[in-house]
Chain A
Amino acid sequence: MRCSRCQQRDSVIQVHQIINDQSAVVHLCQQCALEQGIEVEATLESNPLTGFLALLEQHPATTGACPGCGATLEDYRSTGRLGCARCYATFAGPLRDLLRRIHGAAAHTGSRPPSAEDSLSADARREDLQTQLRRAIEHEQFERAAVLRDQLRQFE
């Protein structure tokens, strides 16, 4: 069966979505599933970076430079290292996919700094949330969008 999103590749996963009490079944190929933030067991590769590099091609929205240090994803591709703390916010989208591949998770659950204040400035954090929200809407991830919108309200 064809992927219902890109209409090009074969689907590898069936996703049951419930939006506004309406349920729908979507068939997704590996790439589209990953872009939607859905893990497909078979996509786990021995070298997570290889997959990540392929993913970078699919994130045209994050091709810019990091406002913190000027690093680009191209820099990351050649060195395997990020430039600064802000890079994590700037490239959050593709990084989430990469982190899921490396760690099997994309969210930190361990210890936190003693001060409640996070190290990212409020502006950077808001920028990051706005980018994430835009992307969530583009990818029809409405539940995630709602969470992000609530987080953004705290800045108003």
Chain B
Amino acid sequence: MTQGADLGLTDVGDWDLGVDQSPRRARPGGALKSLRPTSRHLGAVPFFGYIAIFLLWPTIIVIVGAFQNDSGQLTLANVTTVLGGSTYLQAFWASIRLSAETALAGGVLGALLAWAVAEGDADGVFRRQVVAMSGVLAQFGGVMLAFAFLATFGYAGVVTLALQRVAGVDPLASGGWIYSFTGLAVVYTFFQIPLMVLIFLPAVDGLQVQWREASDNLGGGSWAYWRYVAGPILLPSFVGGLLLLFVSAFSAYATAAALISQGSPIVPLQIRTFLQSEVVLGRANVGKALALGMVVVVAVVMTLYAWLQRRGAKWRA
């Protein structure tokens, strides 16, 4: 279950405005200065090992495989198949659209919720509930989430049957929306909102009361405060959050796999076809070419993210 949601959580720390992330400044005194760089980085070896095995190695397999044929010779055929096949380009477009739409919907709703939480009592029940719920629901992706929606809105879902029997309305009369692109968008937004709360809350918390007071003292109203103070400070965090949500939806597989059984409209499902089909054989490397395309899209998004993060870092204490 590679819910991209994981990605968001590992990055939550980056958005915590209160934490100084520079190890050199964080450590008081000069005790570590005498150590040579090699031994200073020794503690990070397990981390780099982990990254090498679970991130770099699979990426290399995908990149190399994308340019090989079934018997291991170099070829461009896989890549040209993907670029020349309108089915695959459509799948990329659908994936990008789905990710962008759900990132925007989840991002806006999540940011509003985060703002509401930050405005409230710091130790209040509301805040604790929302943060705890977000922590759970942001990880509540994949097959469980798909099942929850099917059991509620599917053909034998509780709500569907209740509406049919009690109200005499058939919500699925015009087709099974939940099994289509619309259904995917609704279900994805469900895990995007809590993810945005987790990512964005530290940024909103970082808004100092003094800034508002200073703005008020200088005669600025609400509009001026949001337009010239809070808005510019929060914008990099907000857009960065959107990018993380985009990647989270772009890489999600299990939710879509559980919901959609025909036509493989998005890229992760197209890749599945090449890896596990009992009909189409010996073309796994076209799947790798599709995966390479996904790597490229994610690389572009993460570059934007890194750039935004540097901008946002300006305001950290």
Chains A and B form a bound pair? no
B: which residues have CB within 8 A of A? none
A: which residues have CB within 8 A of B? none
